[in-house]
């Protein structure tokens, strides 16, 4: 990651530059490696301000912060930037990846019309199943309190459904396609 510094109204110490490089270097553990980071630091009276612009592969984030101390300002702006990186990463992980299966769930309502039952779709959801093993899916089902859970079985590489049976045990539907 390339880090560029701009200073306004003060002479930075080498210790401050190294501190900022070390702190912003921690962005690499969030998957930010081939990016440009522009750090603008300025001092006006007793306000120490930092503005950071991160731009890279389909990523453009910015954050600014101010406080009484430049080191604290760097920490606070880094926290904001990390939160934005995590949020953008969550959005990217929600997008459909090649080879991922999307499941469409339809909820039906049955209405009695004389002797004939009529079905009406009252809700449609799209869902990308998360890869997990059967034991993890059972724990998720139990902790979330759902009646069933659609998941991508990591062992078989197929979409499965796990559900809670009336006797308290779990049932597994594996289409075996």
pLDDT tens sequence across 71-111:
999 999 999 888 888 887 655 554 555 555 555 555 555 55
Give the model's pLDDT for residue 91.
53
CA 62 to each of CA 9, 38, 44, 83, 89: distance values in angstroms, whole numbers, following the listed order:
22, 9, 21, 11, 15
pLDDT tens sequence across 101-139:
555 555 555 555 555 566 777 777 777 788 888 888 888
- Decide the pairing of beta strands 47-56 and 59-67: antiparallel
Q: Which of 1.10.10.10, 2.60.40.10, 3.30.160.100, 3.20.20.370 would CATH assign to domain 2-94?
A: 3.30.160.100
Show the tokens assigned to 154. 């990591």
Torsion of CA 112, 117, 123, 128, to 10 degrees: 150
Show the tokens assigned to 80. 């904001």
**In whole angstroms, what is the distance from residue 148 CA to residue 165 CA?**
10
pLDDT tens sequence across 33-70:
778 888 899 999 889 999 998 887 777 888 889 999 99
Extended strands (E) in the chain: 2-8, 35-44, 47-56, 59-67, 103-113, 116-127, 131-132, 148-153, 158-164, 170-173
Task: Determine the topology of domain 103-173 in CATH.
Answer: SHC Adaptor Protein (3.30.505)
- What does the longest C-alpha to C-alpha distance in the chain come to? 86
Torsion of CA 57, 4, 6, 66, to 10 degrees: 60
Domain residues of the chain, as ranges?
2-94, 103-173
């Amino acid at each position: 990651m390339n880090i560029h510094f701009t200073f306004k109204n003060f002479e930075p110490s080498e210790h401050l530059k190294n501190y900022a490089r070390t702190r912003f270097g921690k962005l690499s553990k969030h998957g930010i490696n081939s990016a440009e980071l522009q750090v603008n630091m300025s001092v006006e009276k007793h306000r120490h301000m930092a503005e950071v612009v991160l731009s890279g592969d389909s990523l453009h984030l910015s954050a600014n912060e101010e406080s009484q101390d430049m080191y604290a300002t760097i920490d606070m702006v880094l926290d904001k930037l990390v939160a934005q990186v995590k949020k953008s990463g969550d959005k990217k992980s929600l997008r459909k990846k090649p080879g991922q299966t999307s499941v469409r769930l339809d909820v039906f309502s049955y209405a009695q019309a004389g002797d004939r039952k009529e079905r009406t779709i009252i809700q449609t959801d799209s869902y990308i199943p998360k890869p997990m093993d059967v034991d993890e899916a059972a724990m998720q089902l139990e902790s979330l309190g759902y009646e069933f859970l659609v998941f991508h079985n990591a062992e078989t590489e197929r979409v499965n459904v796990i559900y809670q049976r009336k006797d308290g045990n779990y049932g597994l539907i594996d289409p075996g396609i």
